[in-house]
Amino acid sequence: MPKVGLTMTEGVIVQWHKREGDFVRAGEPLFTFETEKSTLDYESPASGVLVKILVPEGGSAPCLAPVAFIGEQGEVPAPPPSRDIRQLRIEEPGVESEGASVEAGTSPRRPISPRARLRARELGVDPAQVVGSGPGGAIRERDILAAARPRQAIRATPVAQRIAAELGVDLAEVTGTGPDGRITREDVERAGRQLGIGREKEEAGGEEPKIAGEALAAPQPLSPARRVTAQRMAANAQAAPHVTLFAEADAAHLVAAREQIGAELKEKISYNVLFVAICARALKEHPYMNASWVSQLPDQPEQPGVLQHPFIHIGLAVDTPRGLFVPVVRDAGAKSLAQIHRECTDLVGRTLEGRIRPDELRGSTFTITNLGMFEVDAFTPIVNLPEAAILGVGRLAKKPVALEDGAIVARPMLTLSLSFDHRVVDGAPAARFLQRVKQLIERPFALLV
C-alpha cells in the first residue's frame, strides 16, 4: 500500500484493474486506492503475473503493507516477513468500535471506506441503513451523500439526527416543535415512544441525561483534513507576528476584462484566475513578498533569515466537503492567462472530487483565499507558513463612488485583506505590494504589458 503524504496511515483498495493470473506490465495501472483526501491509481512497479491478491476490493491495509504478489506463472509466493503481516481492518457499517477485522484474503462484509465513514459521522447518516455501490457492496462516500440528501430538507438538530439514527425513527414522520419547526431531541424521543422504541432504555434507567444546549450533546470528531488544518492554523498564528492591511479596489474594469477574456477563450473564466495572474505579476515586481522566514540560512546554518524564492508558486484555497485544501499553481509568473485558467480549472475540479495528489498541495510561496461568494467584505486570513503573506479577497458589491468631476456613481468595489509575516517584511513594503495589486485590479489590461 503506497504512502502518499505524511498523515496517511492506511488506504482502501477501491478497484483491482487486473485479476489473479493476469499479466501486468510495469507502469500499468494495477489498482485504485482511496485515502481520506483523494482517490489515486497505483502503477505496477514491475512486469510479471499477478500471482496473489492479498487485499480484496473494499479492504484496507496499512501503508507499506503488501497487498499483492507479482511473479512468474505458477509461482507460489513466500509469506512476507512477520513484521509485515498485519490484520487488514474491514470496518462494518454502524460498528463504532471499528474493532472487527479479518485476515488477509477474507471477503469483507459490506466494508466502508474511511471517507465514507467520515462523511457519515458529519452528516448523521447511519451506514447500516445505506446500500453500498462499491465492489462487494462496499459503501463509498457517494452512497453516504446520496443517503443524506433526503434528510437535508428536514430541519433537525444534530442530537435529534443522531438519536433518530440510533432508534430507527424516520425524521420525515416527526413533527418538529422547535424554532421554525426544527425537530428537537424531545420530538424524536416522543416519536420513538409512540412507536414503542426505546422503552427498554427507559425501564433500565439508561436514559441519557439532558444537557443544557442540545449542540453540546453532539460532539463531532475531527476529520483528518480538519485536524491538519487546525494544527497548522494554530501553529501559524502563534509562530508568526501577523499584520493585516486592507484596501478597497474599483473592480469595474476587472469585471469587463473577465467578460472579454472569457469571450476570447470561449469559456467562463473565474475571478480567481485573474487574481492568480495579478498576484503573480505583483510578486515579480515585489520579490520580497515571495519569500519565507527560515530558522537556518543555507550558507549560515547558525543564523535565521529570509529566503527569497526564484519561482512563484501560488496556492488557491478551496473549500471542499472534506475540509480546506490549497492546490498550487506552479510557476504562475511564467504562464499566460489561458494556461492559468486551464490549470486552475483542473486543480480545483480534482480537489473538489477528492482526486488531488498530495504533491499538488505542497510548495506554495503565496496564497489567495476568496470569500467573496459568501458575501464577506473583509477578513483577517492567517498566513500559510512558511510563506510571507496571504491575500484575502472579499465580495464584489456596488457602492457609491465620487469621481474626479464630483459626480457620484455606483461602481463594483471589493476589499482586499493582506496578512503578512512581520518578520519577513515591514508594513510599508507590504503596503506597496498591496497597492500594486489594487492597481492591477483597477487596470487589468496592464497585465498585457
**The CATH number of the domain where 34 resides is what?**
2.40.50.100
User: Final residue of a domain: which of 102, 136, 167?
Assistant: 102
Q: Is residue 118 part of a domain?
A: no
- What is the domain count for the chain? 3
Q: Is residue 239 part of a domain?
A: yes
Query: Could you tell me the end-to-end alpha-carbon distance of the chain, in angstroms, rounded to an integer?
Result: 50
Contact 200, 347 (CB under 8 A): no
The reply to whether 64 and 150 lie within a common domain is: no
Q: Is residue 1 part of a domain?
A: no
User: Which pTM value belongs to this model?
Assistant: 0.57
- Which CA distances in Å does 46 have to 25, 52, 70, 72? 6, 14, 8, 11
Residues 6+ apart with CB under 8 A from 295: 304
The reply to whether 383 and 265 lie within a common domain is: yes
The reply to whether 296 and 322 lie within a common domain is: yes
The reply to whether 207 and 279 lie within a common domain is: no
The reply to whether 254 and 283 lie within a common domain is: yes
Give the CA diameter of the chain: 89
How many CA atoms lie less than 13 Å away from 247 in the CB half-sphere?
20
The reply to whether 337 and 444 lie within a common domain is: yes
Can you give the pLDDT at residue 149?
61
The span from the CA of 354 to the CA of 348, in Å, is: 10
C-alpha cell of residue 287:
520579490
User: Final residue of a domain: which of 217, 248, 268?
Assistant: 217
Contact 34, 61 (CB under 8 A): no
Can you give the pLDDT at residue 23?
92
Can you give the pLDDT at residue 184?
84
The reply to whether 244 and 212 lie within a common domain is: no
Omega within 30 of 0 (cis) for the link into 2: no
Q: Is residue 120 part of a domain?
A: no
Chain centre to alpha carbon of residue 192: 37
Q: What is the pLDDT along the chain (449 residues), one digit of tens a residue?
A: 988 766 677 888 888 999 998 999 988 889 988 876 677 888 888 889 999 999 998 788 888 889 999 988 777 766 655 434 333 443 333 333 333 333 333 334 457 777 777 777 777 788 887 877 766 677 877 778 777 765 445 677 767 777 777 677 777 778 888 776 778 888 888 887 776 665 444 444 444 444 344 444 456 666 656 666 777 778 778 788 899 999 999 999 999 999 999 999 999 999 999 999 999 999 999 999 999 988 777 777 777 889 999 999 999 999 987 778 999 999 999 999 999 999 999 999 998 888 888 889 889 999 999 999 999 999 999 999 889 999 999 999 999 998 888 889 999 999 999 999 999 999 999 999 999 999 999 999 999 88
Signed CA dihedral, 426, 431, 434, 440: sign only:
negative
Q: Is residue 371 part of a domain?
A: yes
C-alpha cell of residue 105:
484474503
The reply to whether 78 and 182 lie within a common domain is: no
The reply to whether 359 and 329 lie within a common domain is: yes
Q: Find the CATH number of the domain harbouring 211.
A: 4.10.320.10
Let me know how long the chain is: 449
Nearest to 92 by CA among 120, 72, 122, 69: 120
Q: Is residue 390 part of a domain?
A: yes
Can you give the pLDDT at residue 86?
37
Burial class (CB in 10 A: 0-12, 13-18, 19+), 27: exposed
The reply to whether 78 and 210 lie within a common domain is: no
Q: Find the CATH number of the domain harbouring 323.
A: 3.30.559.10
Residue 226: what residue type?
A: R
The reply to whether 366 and 389 lie within a common domain is: yes
Can you give the pLDDT at residue 221?
62
| Domain enclosing residue 82, as ranges | 10-102
Q: Is residue 21 part of a domain?
A: yes
The reply to whether 271 and 305 lie within a common domain is: yes
Q: Is residue 364 part of a domain?
A: yes
- Which CA distances in Å does 23 have to 1, 41, 51? 20, 18, 9
